[in-house]
Structures are given as structure tokens and as C-alpha cells.
Structure 1
């Protein structure tokens, strides 16, 4: 197999602290790549040791390898500062002063799928903390894979993250060297543990394989990811630096490549027969983490097992696990009116509505609490309604005939939007049979997504496809979450199927679903931009454009799982809606 690697290290960016471990980490990864037999022509090393690292340099390095048309596996490694603005960005030398000098990881992944290389692996040893400050929030970044699809078939792109979303990737003082303060040796914890496996220090994880009359030992990607999730937190705990510090690696690995090898080395064991089993022995059960808690809750919800779901919800736990369970319980609790005379409306909790903006539809803010909105005079397929909040921010949410939209806010962010049929519509009778299971599933997905720990394998994704359909209808909010699940699984066929089902049932399609289907926009789609914030990072890669009346509105977003705008964005949307700059 012809392999290549692009290794990137940026120790200094903007006013952020200079990272001491970046250069040594990249050097060790370079040494490993060479020992793997990746020759100099297939190895690109970009660091800021002497000169700044730019998006154009990274793009050119990757494009040169793609253009060879013979590379079968490409490894792209990054060590440096990272931020999460709804999705992942690697900060290069010119960021954040130059908003384009960052790698848009999610957009790059989408282009990488069609670049023609059979298997791309991204390894990110960078923070995934939320962006802070105006400069960081303006980061746009750029895609570093060529925007020239070579293949009409998607190829696997896998990602290894050094930490969970919203968390830092730790650069820590080595305790052994800390005693000799003058030495000041630093190590990037994740890369240290990663290289232990890549270089074969854990023989029990290697698989012996016969090839051309010799035996080699392979390290497989799925097992590597599992080991990193176990060993990085354990290594940190053993260092006894601060019990409050934690680092839990994350990953997105395709079922098609979980058994793909990522490192090979001479086999040092002894073959007992010509037929042998995998070298990795039975392991202890994985530790309880927000990921495992989320997986258990999602699985119970997909199975419709409310008893099991409630048992899991009541488990004793601490830290982020307890926070997740509490968030799920809160989200699952219904609130507000279950019907309107008009059969359509909005209800919110955790915030207060002070104004609404709409065109050709009757909208009435009920009562004095600012938490209930009745929508009348609505005709199919629906209308965009801007809800303006007490703090000056706003959200644009589609009003759908027969549905009540429930919005949940926490800490000033919109953390969930769910749609349920109004109890006085034809949809409710059939929906009611599954309402508890659907609420538990939606709550689990919403809370898990807000923490960045929502994952589904292909089996779970198919189960979600079945679950979000009830009788002759479709759950609109689950359709949004499902679209991103199917995109991560690279199952565009399921996205296309869901899009068709939504158009047939509701007469429209959400922008996010249309975006991820990558098909020409036909008919109605609402709103005229992504509802889930993670969709904004994909607009460039998917060549999607917003209406001219909303040009620049992406710079008016505020941090939130679901798209929210600041006062400037609210003013822009108000003008666009009232003037007809966007469809009703």
C-alpha cells in the first residue's frame, strides 16, 4: 500500500501561549513516518520553527500528494492550537488576526472524501475549546483538500481527536523532569501515548499477518482509538498533577476502516499455527464516560425500552456524566401548551421572547411571560419566523402547519429545537403512541450533541431512520439530527431518502438536509441557512450560497448549538423577511 503523510506543527499563533511540545511532537511523528517506509517524496513536514505556516502551504502539500493519483492512505497530523466554533478549526500562524489562516477541519473532511485517496486519517492533537473573544469568533478558515472531486464515490475519512469537544488538549510538565526545573521538559500527552502504540510498545495490541512469506505486526485503527480513550486519561491520572484535570480522546471512525492498519512493524512473537486469532487480549470494560453514558441512553431509546432508559438516567455518577444525565432529564420533560386553536405555535423555556418578525402570517405573543407564541393564517408548507429575545439576540425558526416548536435555552444558548404535532391535529392520534419514546430519544440526542458526545454507528443510524418515522408522518427535529449522523457515516443515500420523505410529508425540506444531500435545491427549504450551527462550516465545501439579502450574516452568529444571531444579525434578518429578501 502506497502511503503518505502531511505533518503540521504550529507552536505560536496570535496572543495564545507558545506551545513547547509542538516541534518535538512533529519531529517524533516524522521519525515514525520514515520508519514506516514513507519516503521523502510522500512526506510533507510543515512547522513554524523558521517560517509561518499558512493555509496555502498546507493545501499545496496535500494537493501535491493527491495529484500523484497513487496514494492509497494519507495521514494528516496537526499539533498546535485549536478552537471549536460550532465545528473544528486548527489555528495556523496568521490566525486569528487573519480569519482565513486556519484549517476548517469539517469542510476539509467533506472534500477529502472525494479526493480519490482510498483512506484519509486526520490526527488532531489540539484543543477543541469554545472560541473566546471577538477575534476568535470571526475565524472562517479554509479547506485544505482540493475542491476537484476525482471520485463520484465517497471514500472513508477518519479522525482521531486528542480530547472531547469543548475541552483542552493538555501540554503538561513531565513530573520526572519537573524536579530539575532548569530542564523544563514538556510533553504533549496525547502524542506521547499515540506514539507508544504507533511504534509497537504495546505488543498485545498488534495483529500478526503473513505476507509474502514473512510475518508483520499490524496496529489497527479501531483498536488504537479504543486504547487511546483508555490510556490517555489513565496516563494523566498517574502523573498526579491535578485531580480536576481530565483528557478524554474522541474519534470518528468508519465501520469500513476500523480494521484498517495504520502502523506496521516486524513481528516479534511466535506463531503457533498458520491460523491465528487477533493478538489483542480481552480487556477490562471501558470506563464510564459521557460517551458511554450517551451510547447507553440512545440505545435504550432506539429500542423503545423506557424502563431501561429511566434506570440509566438514575445512575449514580459525577462530573460530566452527571451533567449529561441532568440535561437529558430536563430536556425530556414536556412543558408549555400541547395545542393551539390555530394548530401551530412556539413555546420556549430558559429565555423570553419580546418581539417576532414574519411576513404574510399572523403571529401573536401570548401572555406576559414571553414564552408562548401562537401562529395563525399559516398555509402549507410553512413560514420563517424570527423570534427576538430579551437579550437582543434572535433565532429564525420555521413555523410548520400542525406542529408546535419547543425551544430550550441554557446559559443564553439555544440547546434544542423540537417539533411535536398539536394535540388537536390529525397527526397527534398516531404520534401519541410513540410520544414518550420519541421524547426520550430527542432529549438524549439534544443533550449529548450539546456536550459533543453524540455518536451513532451504522446500525444505530439505521435504527434512528426507523424511529423518527411514525405512522404516516416524520419527526422534523429528529430528521435534522439524523441528517448529520448519516453524513458522518457517509450514507448520503439515507439523507436523500429522508429528504424525499420530508418533502412528501411536509412539503418542504430543512436547509441542513438539503445541504448534506448535496443535490440541487428543489422546492421549499427553511430557514435559508443551517439550523444546527455545525452546518455553517460546510457551506464553502459544499458550494452552498445564502440569499444576497443575508450576505455576511455568518459573522453575526453567537455561540450556540442551534443557530442564533446577535443584534446586528437580527436587524439583517428583520429587513430580509419584511422586504421579501427571503421566502416567506
Structure 2
């Protein structure tokens, strides 16, 4: 059995009403019926209220029946980003109740243990930061928490736009009806409006437009047939064409208008079908329309892939160049991609991170250097720290204490950032004004790992800068770590270009980013491999690593810090919420949108009090 859940929300209190979200969900639901899907529609037309529990209960019922082989979850409505890769869909009462929104990141994670072999999430929603505190809640999941049965589950994510951008809706040229660019584009493709995307392995030439000659077909529909035809459309075949169709529709509305979908596809062979057609149906489609979509254009959302490919070629010969000159040597980016020219956030942040150098040692072997900003204070248990200036940078020396694992960085605007104290490492905190871009943990000069780090310093710093800047921009950087582990989830010691491993140690900075990339890709074995290495190599265990490896309980006494360092970690709060102090749980409702967990100034004082009372270590 295959199912579709269609959700359309026009009205969210406190936000501008949409005109096409409900109609888009209805249209997607109607298409699904023609393809034999069992469908469930949740829409707020006629003043209906759509609740998270209704959607959750329906998905839970589907899972409990254990007959679902394929599930598509479609959403059209208002969406926000809590931080990079933290997608939230807003339901009817999201303003008054933070639980009445959908935590997409957490839902995807839970979906991996649902027992459903193939799930597609289609999101026709904006991916912009919230402007109101009412919309900064974490949201609720729509998939149940289940034990991992080790059954394979592939998940594809189809976003209407790239992170930080809106999803547009406009008036139809043929009527006064509004339409969503992304919804209209994907439905057209799935209906077969672009015959050159319809495929069959049984046909010579594979593609419908190659197998049948249209001029012959117009004369005689039976001049040729494909017995037991299996004409179909899947996500792999439509990835770039979908981007092309959306981009073309946007430019037709206004020449300067752009919208670039982001498509994340998990490899499967064969890929399950989204839409299927009999041979007669395929012929009728070809006769009815002769639209063709080409996908040679370079898209903003593909920029990461270009940099990644160039990076792999360029790491072998870095020389003594700056980060910017290295990128320029690797290849220029198309001038048409204005938001991502060499001066963009992605590149400038990469260079800023690459060029940021922290102190090489403290007598205590442990501490922090602040780069790019001046902070107000740092809070550690028992005040076991020294705060001073050196070389125009704030330095923080941490005195040795086996119990101290957490520091709270207080910014001048009153916001606060929890940071792990890792013994034997200097953490360089790189800021762009009040935004923390990354924390680079480097072995102290009096640490036995220091010499190995120095031999690989240029390469490590290059990859750190690339990964951190990609993460800040919301790009999927998981492919950077693809070759770190073998098929059994063990560290691949034959990988000479390993970014994570240096001899027998693991780079803590990259390890933190890696576990999130692996978790989001469903590579739980790789998450646990990073966890095992960090457990062997460090006296403290980064909270995020333990949480994503489902080891919070056994690591509770040495977690660093007291909550997730990356804000994305809060999307998995069901894994650790019971271990948090009630005041930290309350404070998590006041997170400032950022890559790194940043508490609003409203709750900073209450967290400081937990240090003062020796509750936080």
C-alpha cells in the first residue's frame, strides 16, 4: 500500500494569510488518488483548525497497520527556520501553542524507524528566520518514537526553496486563482506534462520521448507498443528538471524573480516510483503535450556541490595561499548566481574562519580564544577561569577540574552560548558580530596530539572552514564525510584523505558536524563510530555526540556542555529532554535563531544561577 498525507494551511494567526496553500494541498491530494495512493487531506478551508495530533494519529495508524510501502507527506503553508537545517511547518494555532507546529527535522529522524521502506517529504513553504518570539518554539513531531528495527528506510526531501528564502505564490495568468510555484511545478511533472521525464528500463532508449516517434504516433497510435510497460517518474529523474521548471516559472512572472528548490535524495537501486503510467496512458500523454524541460542551468542550490567537487581536487596542493585565493584557483562561480559570488556570506565566512587563529597553549592545557567579537563574560562552575586580553583577543584560561565540562559565554547583548570544555584543547570561537560561526577545538601545544595536528594544520583548517560556513548557510555537507567509514560503520583506515581522523585521534570540531550529517542521512552506524572514537579519546563527551548516538543516559556524568551545542540538536529533544534541568527546558523556548545554541537575554540570568548554585558543571 502507498499513502499520501496532504497538509494545506492558509491561515496562521499572526501571519499574512496565504491564498494557494489549501488549493495546492487539494490538488496534490487529487493527483495522488489518480495514482492509486490512499490519501488523507488536512486543510484549514471553511475555518477548520488543523492540529498536530490529528496528523500524528493518522500517520501512527498507517505505521501500526504495517502494510505501507511508500508514504508521501506534502505540506503547503507557512514555514520557518529555527536555525540551519531546522525546518518548522506552522499549523493553525502555532502562534499560541508552540506544539501546534511540525518539527520537520525531528519528524524525519523518527520516520527512519517507522518500518516504511520509502518516505518522501514535500515542503512548499518558506525557509526564513522567524521575526516573532511566538514562532521560535521547537514544534512537535508527526511520527512516533519507535525502536530501531534495522529495517532500511530511504527518505527524500523536496524543498520549494533554499535556506533563507521564501516560497512564492502568484496569480495565474488564466484566472484570478493563486498558485504556489513549487506545488504547480511538481504536480505538472508528476502528471506527465513533461514526457521527456517519463522513463522505463524495459524500453530501448529508456525515455518515453526516445522510444516513441511522435510523428509516427500521431498517424497510428498502434504503430508500436511496449508490452508490460513500466513507464514511471521518480525523484532522481526529476531533481534538476524540477529546479528548471520552478526557475522558469519564476522568471516568467518577473525577470528578476528567482526561486531555487533544494532536493535531497537518498540513493536506492531501483528508486521507487512516484508516478506510473501504462503504455496507453504514456502514449496519450505524449500526444497531448510536447513540453520539454532542460536542466543544464546552474542553480544557487547546486553551488555547494560545485565547491565540494573543487575542494576534493584542491586539498592535495594547498600551498601557502589564503582561503579566498584557494577558492579562486579552484574555479569561478557563474556571475548569474549573484547571492553566491566570491564575496557572499558563504565565501566570506569561510575565509574568516580559515584565517582565525587561537592561542596555541595555556599552562592548564585548556581554554578558549574569542575572535571577531568581544564578549561580556564567561561563566564556569566555581569561577575556575582567568579572563584576559592578549594580541587584541580575549583569552579564557580554564583551570583543571575533573567536574567542569560546561562554559556559558555571555555576549554583550545579554544573549548566552553554552560551550563544551574539552581538556587538552583550545577552543577558538569565531564570531561575525554577535553570531557564533563555529568553535574550532585544537590540541594544546602541550598535548601529545599537537604535533600530528601541526603536520595537517592547513588541510584541517580548510575543511573546518568549508564545513562550518556550509552549515551556517544551511547546505547539506554530508558528502564531505562519505568515505570516513566502511560499510560496517567502522573507521575506514584505508582513506588517506580522512578529514576526521588524524592517526588514532578524532578531530572534535569536525566530529561534531559529522554526527549531525550522518544522523540526518540515517547513517546511525557512522554516528556510533564517531561516538566510540570520542569516548576513547576524551575525558568529556560532547553532548551532541552522545545524544545522536542515543547514549545520553550512560554518558550523563561527563557530558559537555549541559545541552546541545548546535541548535539543530533541539530538534531531537525527545532524546534528552528528561535529563535537562526544568529551567533549561524552559530556556529552550527562548532560543535565538543561529547555528549554535544561543539563549535569549531573557533567560540568561536563570542559567547563570544554575552555575552559581552548583547545579550545572
Alignment TM-score, normalising by the size of structure 2: 0.84
- 1:235 counterpart = 2:263: no
Q: Distance in 1 between matches of 2:96 and 2:300?
A: 36
Alpha-carbon offset, residue 363 of structure 1: 1.3
Alignment TM-score, normalising by the size of structure 1: 0.89
Which residue does the alignment assign to 1:196?
Answer: 188
> Aligned pair in 2 of structure 1 residues 270, 412: CA closer, same or farther (>3 Å)?
closer
Alpha-carbon offset, residue 397 of structure 1: 1.1
Counterpart of 1:397 in 2: which secondary structure?
Answer: strand
**8 Å contact 1:422–1:428 — kept in the other structure?**
yes
Q: Deviations over 1:442-472 (max 9, x none)?
A: 1111111111123334873637983111123
Q: Deviations over 1:81-140 (max 9, x none)?
A: 111112111111112122211111111112211122111111111111111112112x23
> Aligned pair in 2 of structure 1 residues 294, 417: CA closer, same or farther (>3 Å)?
farther
Instruction: List aligned pairs for 1:349-360, cutoff 5 A.
Output: 349-360=371-382
> Aligned pair in 2 of structure 1 residues 376, 554: CA closer, same or farther (>3 Å)?
closer
**8 Å contact 1:9–1:22 — kept in the other structure?**
yes
Which residue does the alignment assign to 1:433?
Answer: 455
C-alpha RMSD over aligned residues: 2.8
Instruction: List aligned pairs for 1:518-533, cutoff 5 A.
Output: 518-523=550-555, 524-533=558-567
**8 Å contact 1:163–1:248 — kept in the other structure?**
yes
Which residue does the alignment assign to 1:166?
Answer: 164
- 1:319 counterpart = 2:338: yes
> Aligned pair in 2 of structure 1 residues 499, 99: CA closer, same or farther (>3 Å)?
same
Alpha-carbon offset, residue 568 of structure 1: 3.4
Alpha-carbon offset, residue 331 of structure 1: 1.6
For structure 1, which segment, 149-158 or 301-310, has the greater mean C-alpha deviation from structure 2 after superposition? 301-310
- 1:547 counterpart = 2:581: yes
Counterpart of 2:359 in 1: which secondary structure?
Answer: coil
Instruction: List aligned pairs for 1:34-113, cutoff 5 A.
Output: 34-38=33-37, 42-50=38-46, 51-86=48-83, 87-113=86-112
Which residue does the alignment assign to 1:117?
Answer: 116
**8 Å contact 2:156–2:266 — kept in the other structure?**
yes
Counterpart of 2:430 in 1: which secondary structure?
Answer: strand
**8 Å contact 1:313–1:325 — kept in the other structure?**
no
Gaps (5+ residues) in structure 2? 204-225, 284-291, 319-325, 486-490, 493-497
Q: Distance in 2 between matches of 1:402 and 1:482?
A: 21
Q: Distance in 2 between matches of 1:572 and 1:258?
A: 53
Question: Among 558, 561, 569, which residue is 2:592 paired with?
Answer: 558
Which residue does the alignment assign to 1:185?
Answer: 177
Gaps (5+ residues) in structure 1? 178-182, 272-280
Instruction: List aligned pairs for 1:96-495, cutoff 5 A.
Output: 96-137=95-136, 139-149=137-147, 151-153=149-151, 155-174=153-172, 176-177=173-174, 183-209=175-201, 214-239=228-253, 241=254, 243=256, 245-256=257-268, 259-267=271-279, 285-293=296-304, 295-297=306-308, 300=311, 304-307=315-318, 309=327, 311-312=329-330, 315=333, 317=335, 318-322=337-341, 323=344, 324-360=346-382, 362-367=384-389, 371-379=393-401, 383-457=405-479, 460=482, 462=484, 466-495=498-527
**8 Å contact 2:426–2:442 — kept in the other structure?**
yes
**8 Å contact 1:100–1:142 — kept in the other structure?**
yes
Alpha-carbon offset, residue 144 of structure 1: 1.1
Counterpart of 1:439 in 2: which secondary structure?
Answer: helix
